[in-house]
Amino acid sequence: MGQFTLINPLCGEAKKAERLHSILDASLKGYNYEEIITGEQFAKADLRNKKLLFSISLGESGVNLEYYHMLKQIRLRRDCLEGSTGGIIIDGNSELFTKSVSRELAFSANRAGCAFPGRPLVEGTRSLKNFNIQAQNLRMDNLGAYIVAGRQLVHNIIHFEKLCEKTPRILMIHASERKTSNSLSLWEMVKKHLSGCQIRELSLRNGKIQDCQGCPYETCKHYGDENKCFYGGPMVEEVYPAILECDALVMVCANYNDAVGANIAAFINRLTALFMVHKFYEKSLFGIVVSGYSGGDIVAQQLISALNMNKTFRLPGRFALLETANDPKAILHSEGAEQRAEKFAQVILENLKSDG
Q: Name all domains of the chain by residue range, CATH numbers in brackets.
A: 4-158 (3.40.50.360), 169-352 (3.40.50.360)
Q: What is the mean pLDDT of the chain?
A: 93
Angle, alpha carbons 299-305-309 (nearest 5°): 150
Task: Report d(CA 318, CA 216) in Å as an integer.
Answer: 37
Crossing angle for the helix pair 217-224 and 262-275, nearest 10 degrees?
A: 80
Nearest to 308 by CA among 73, 88, 155: 88
Give residue 75's pLDDT: 98
Please count the helices (runs of H) and the strands (runs of E) in the chain.
13, 10
Give residue 227's pLDDT: 67
Q: In this structure, what DSSP letter does residue 235 have?
A: I
Give residue 222's pLDDT: 53
Task: Report d(CA 98, CA 8) in Å as an integer.
Answer: 15
Q: β-strands 85-92, 51-59: how paired?
A: parallel
Q: Are 23 and 124 in contact (CB under 8 A)?
A: yes
Q: β-strands 320-324, 4-7: how paired?
A: unpaired
Task: Report d(CA 339, CA 99) in Å as an integer.
Answer: 34
Q: Which residues of the chain have pLDDT under 50?
A: 1-2
Write the DSSP assignment of 292-332 as a string of letters. SSS-HHHHHHHHIIIIIIIT--BB-TT-EEEEE--STTGGG
* CB proximity list for 64: less than 8 A, separation 6 or greater: 9, 11, 56, 57, 58
Give residue 1's pLDDT: 38
Query: What torsion, rounded to 10 degrees, do the Cα atoms 106, 162, 190, 197 define?
Result: -150
Give residue 36's pLDDT: 98
5 conformational bin, left if phi > 0, alpha if psi -120 to 50, beta if neither: beta
Give residue 228's pLDDT: 64
